[in-house]
Structure 1
Amino acid sequence: MTYETLQQDMQLMVEEWMTSDYLRDGELFVIGCSTSEVAGQAIGTSGSEQIAEVIFKQLNILKEKSGIQLVFQCCEHLNRALVMEREIAARYLLDEVSVIPVPTAGGSMASYAYKQMTDPVVVESIKGSAHAGMDIGETMIGMHMKHVAVPLRFKQRQIGNARLAVARTRPKLIGGSRANYEDTRLNNKCN
């Protein structure tokens, strides 16, 4: 994997999200990322803030184009806490915890993101509030997603050497067969 290939992978992923029409202004978008897996190594063995930088820059483009709010999952050493801007934590009434992620405890992606944000905080949980997200390297972001998470089948299935899984959420279906869902956000895209 080269940095040029990584950037191309991320650009393709950004394009797919932008054409998907699943992202809404202000919604939480959670990212779990193993930079070790992106580099072709076992998760947690060779993190890289250089890889994180390439990924972060492309995610920032996605944020600028779509209006989403980026939330970065830390690794299990920080119990999968999340890095975000203080303003977003306040908007969602989330409690800050006292920790700063570093590559060896939090992961290179969360550590890099923390350093790039204007006023970063770490929160213990987003209480299943993410509207969409992506998991680079099987880092298990599902606990942060709203119900009901719907996996998406993008053409872009890898970032570097890491497997990529992406998902969006939809409101729960209630009311059974007599209910009408035509004018909802589902737009006949139920899975």
Structure 2
Amino acid sequence: MRKLSCLLTGLMLTAVPGVCMAQMTADTRLGVGHSVTDADLRAYFSIPPSGKGLPAGSGTALQGETVFTESCAACHGEQLQGNMAPGIGADKLIGGRGSLATNNPVKTTESYWPYATTLFDYVKRAMPFNAPGSLTDDQVYSVVAYILAQGKIIKADETLDATTLPKVKMPNRDGFIADPRPELSLYR
């Protein structure tokens, strides 16, 4: 797996085939750059459904309510109902269960997201909209716990962390069809 991540990183970030970023060092001749650390590389890879790579930390819905109010409600609404105001609007986060197969699908954490780890990853990288990546790991666990508790996916008193988050069963986890694309067999 490490060879694969090195190869992917090398291809994505350096355009020098076969070079692993983790093996690259600073250019001492020019006095620029630094050796790439595992922490540097983590910024370029998402958290898979298994939860591998989830950071330390934890959070509860109670803690998440504060984070949500301060960092999320302006766009997603105080009741997670969404805010469609031009220029600041964002989708609703709860509701919509069972709506994907209807003429009016509502994509929310309840109806669409198959894994809670994916939700964590998205919030960590992309939210809040005006300052993506600015939330601490504890804040991300907390706000995800709040969203999931408001959607009745977890109990309000549950604590989410790297162990418990991957075990959360999302309502539409089994609502997706595997995509066995033939071209995937061409990749090693």
More strand, by proportion: 1
Answer with 1 or 2: which has the greater Rg: 2
Q: What band does the TM-score fall into relative to the shorter chain?
A: under 0.3
Q: Which is bigger in relative contact order (C-alpha 8 A, separation at least 6)? A: 1
With normalisation by structure 2, the TM-score equals 0.27
With normalisation by structure 1, the TM-score equals 0.27
